[in-house]
């Protein structure tokens, strides 16, 4: 796919919140490649860990790192001032931990999004791209899942993201904020943490574990490679048709977790069997059984197409996990 916006980012100043994370850092890399000046809002750490932005640090870098927290309205105002476009990816993620600390999810995801939207409105940004998640749909009632599918808060995490999405859209209706809600489906790839299913399977395989410990094997997911998701953000940032709208980013294909595991076992050449770990099972009413995207809006409105197929994406991810196995805790289950 030829991206019509490939050269349009030169000279623009953009803010990426959650920039040190999995998708955020990949988006920063793509923006730098396209010539943008990137302001990266990262969560403050007293030990100064730069994470996946470390290669952008140093004199002359087009990336300016700002430490802060999206819950801090004043700090958010400082970060947004002077930016052309804001990509809001900062969020408290991880479904299991949301059962333990739901209030923290509301504070970061809902209040944090309100702070971002208010700052964008105050400074008149050209576009705000707010990051949603396919988890807001819950178990599919109809497939493929289009953007008008009912929202089902099957976990405190998904409830907080529904609230965040509605907060962002309320600024479009009430204040004419130029916002688009970007809703990725199960992004995967290099840099993803062991809290996600693909890296947790691969880490166990590459560590030589003979029993792969997982939760439910029957749910299906629509896995999208991370560079495709990042390219979708850029395409939608210049798509006027998407203003005030929600847009899915998914491949339109699904695979069951059990079948995915078998494919990863075969791809790595390891000898292992799958064991269902009760500690990894979601509460019965919280498990999302099926996610399969309708990506018509992204394709028709923004010209976006996923380019990396699942087999190639899994190969790349497997190699990255093997090369960075020290980052993963194989024996401990991280919520």
Q: Tokens 């700002």 map to which residue? A: 66
What gap in Å lies between CA 131 and CA 91, rounded to an integer? 9
What phi, psi does 93 have (nearest 5°)? -110, 180
Who contacts 86 (Cβ-Cβ below 8 Å, separation ≥6)?
Answer: 14, 15, 17, 80, 116, 120, 125, 127, 128, 129
The angle at the Cα of 264, spanning 276 to 278, to the nearest 5 degrees, equals 10
In the residue annotation, 188 being an active-site residue is answered as no
Paired strand residues for 182 = 131, 247
For 230-242, give the DSSP string.
HHHHHHHHT-GGG
Who contacts 199 (Cβ-Cβ below 8 Å, separation ≥6)?
Answer: 188, 192, 193, 317, 321, 328
SS3 (DSSP) at 73: helix
Q: Which one of 105, 137, 157, 171 is the catalytic residue?
A: 157
Who contacts 170 (Cβ-Cβ below 8 Å, separation ≥6)?
Answer: 117
Helix (H) or strand (E) holding 29: helix 22-33
> Residues 174, 304, 223, 63: is their CA dihedral positive or negative?
negative
- Taking a C-beta distance cutoff of 8 angstroms, is the pair 287, 96 a contact? no
> Residues 197, 199, 202, 203: is their CA dihedral positive or negative?
negative
Which residues are designated catalytic? 157
């Amino acid at each position: 796919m030829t991206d019509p916006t490939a050269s349009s980012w030169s000279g623009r100043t953009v803010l990426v919140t959650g920039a040190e994370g999995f998708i955020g850092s990949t988006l920063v890399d793509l923006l730098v490649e396209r010539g943008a000046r990137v302001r990266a809002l990262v969560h403050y750490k007293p030990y100064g860990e730069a994470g996946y932005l470390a290669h952008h640090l140093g004199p002359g870098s087009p990336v300016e790192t700002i430490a802060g927290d999206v819950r801090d309205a004043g700090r958010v105002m400082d970060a947004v001032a002077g930016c052309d476009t804001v990509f809001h990816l900062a969020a408290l993620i991880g479904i299991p931990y949301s059962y333990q600390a739901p209030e923290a999810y509301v504070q970061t995801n809902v209040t944090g999004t309100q702070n971002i939207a208010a700052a964008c409105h105050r400074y008149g940004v050209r576009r705000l791209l707010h990051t949603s998640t396919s988890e807001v749909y819950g178990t599919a009632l109809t497939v493929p899942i289009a953007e008008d599918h009912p929202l089902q808060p099957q976990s405190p995490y998904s409830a907080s993201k529904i609230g965040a999405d509605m907060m962002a859209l309320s600024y479009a209706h009430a204040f004419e904020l130029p916002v688009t809600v970007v809703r990725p489906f199960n992004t995967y790839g290099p840099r993803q943490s062991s809290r996600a299913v693909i890296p947790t399977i691969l880490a166990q395989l590459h560590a030589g574990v003979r029993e792969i410990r997982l939760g439910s094997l029957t749910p299906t997911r629509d896995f999208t490679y991370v560079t495709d998701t990042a390219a979708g953000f850029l395409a939608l940032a210049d798509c006027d048709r998407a203003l005030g709208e929600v847009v899915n980013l998914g491949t339109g294909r699904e695979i069951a977790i059990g079948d995915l595991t078998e494919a990863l076992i075969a791809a790595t050449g390891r000898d292992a069997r799958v064991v269902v770990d009760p500690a990894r099972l979601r509460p019965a009413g919280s498990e999302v059984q099926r996610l399969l995207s309708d990506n018509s809006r992204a394709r028709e409105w923004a010209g976006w197409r996923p380019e990396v197929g699942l087999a190639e994406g899994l190969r790349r991810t497997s190699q990255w996990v093997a090369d960075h196995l020290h980052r993963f805790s194989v024996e401990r289950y991280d919520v």
